[in-house]
Structure 1
Amino acid sequence: MGKITKIMLGLNIVAGIIGIVFGMGVKGDLKKANTAKEEAEASAAQIENGTSSLKSDKTKLQEELGLVKGEIESLSNRLVAASSNLGDAQKQETEAVAALKVAQTEAAKLQSKLAEVTGLAQEHTKLKTTLADYQALGTVEEVRDWKKKATRPKPTKPGENGPNKPKPPKPQPTAGAEIGKIVSFDKKFGFYVINRGTDHGVKNGDEFKVVRAGNLVGKIKIADAQPSVSIAEPIKELTRQQLQPGDILRK
């Protein structure tokens, strides 16, 4: 073979090898391209699915946001109503406190009036008792006559104390015992009326201690003893203060 022929043959062989190599590279690239295309299409499908899911999630979130806004608005309205109710409650509480104070004041006034009425009732009872005692004593003139008679010796009728007419024994006050009480005082004539008389063993000339709250405040002397009540006069040197109805008499 000639030298040129050998060269041409060598070039053809090289070209064939290059073609084979190039063809193999193109086929590999096409295969890679197809694979990339498939992966891209799969990714696109996933992205599309993800986009749909995101749209669905967005819709749900918007709905939930709307519900939350509704709850916030409802709570705001309830807060406003509660604030209004609180104001009304505070106003009612203030009015109730004021009404309570008025009621307490009225109750105190009524209590005072009740005490006053009770005192008047007790005073009325005392006055009725005093009136009964005075009525038992008689008129003022009769009282004066009793006082005069008390200073005179009483005559004894013949045979009054004879053996055929013994006097029935009368109770005698014992030393230290409570005899009775002063029921009234006559300012005009200066004598006291006590609720004990001859039926209780009290007689003219008897002297009794006057005690108030356990303390000795004076002494009286019986001027005229009647069956149920007696007239007494204070022993001035032993009486340093005004005696009062209710003072206790002791032997």
Structure 2
Amino acid sequence: MIISRVKRTLPRPGHLLTVGLALLCSLLFVLPAKADPAPFDDCPSDTLCLYSGSDGSGDRRDFTESGNAESYDATWDGKTLSAKNNTKLWACVYVGTGYGGLLQTIKPANSDEYSTDSRFAGTISSHKLVPSRAHCFTGYERCPDNRVCTFTEPNGRGTMTVHRPATDTATKNYGNSYGSDVAPVSVWNRTRKHVCFYPEPDFTGTWTDPADGQVYGAYVVLRGDSTTVPAPFAGTFRSHELVNGTSECQ
């Protein structure tokens, strides 16, 4: 009778260690990599964050809800390529200073990207935070009380010039130093008198309406009124005075 004997080989401790290390390495290889932070995650709450790179990258400038800026300093002007509005207000960003030129609006808690839009990439020069989107399209609120304010763009936008009351009771001069750089396109008269505008710096001159040929000696903005100036008056004011009644206009 032949008896077959099977020789059993016990695994050596070194072999078990090798297998264990292999399994551990395979587990390490399948662990998920640490995710990069989401864009704009670094923007603090109650803050408008402007970035010099796309998707919230690059340098960051922070502005609080009261931190409206009619212009930026030279180190930031035209640098914004993306933005995060982490406030409860609407954010309005503008290509021009003084809330002028093209504009974009950003809803509360939203972000915006400008790097792929040639109209806004490297051109943003001012911003403000407002309670509703409609406020992005006007800038009259900048005018102080008891002043006549003129603006270089419609609806109180663009460069604003503030005119203070004069002390000359004879001429009632409230301003005659207009130039092409401050030629008014809109006006807010926040005084208690009416204001008469003229096309000449000495409170004289006339306009002729090409539509009907009518001649006008003064353009009047009543006390408390704000308006966008129509043709043929827009951009042509060179002086103005305050009067108690419109019949007093020169």
More helix by share: 1
Fold-level similarity (TM above 0.5): no
Structure with bigger gyration radius? 1
Q: TM-score, normalised by structure 2?
A: 0.28
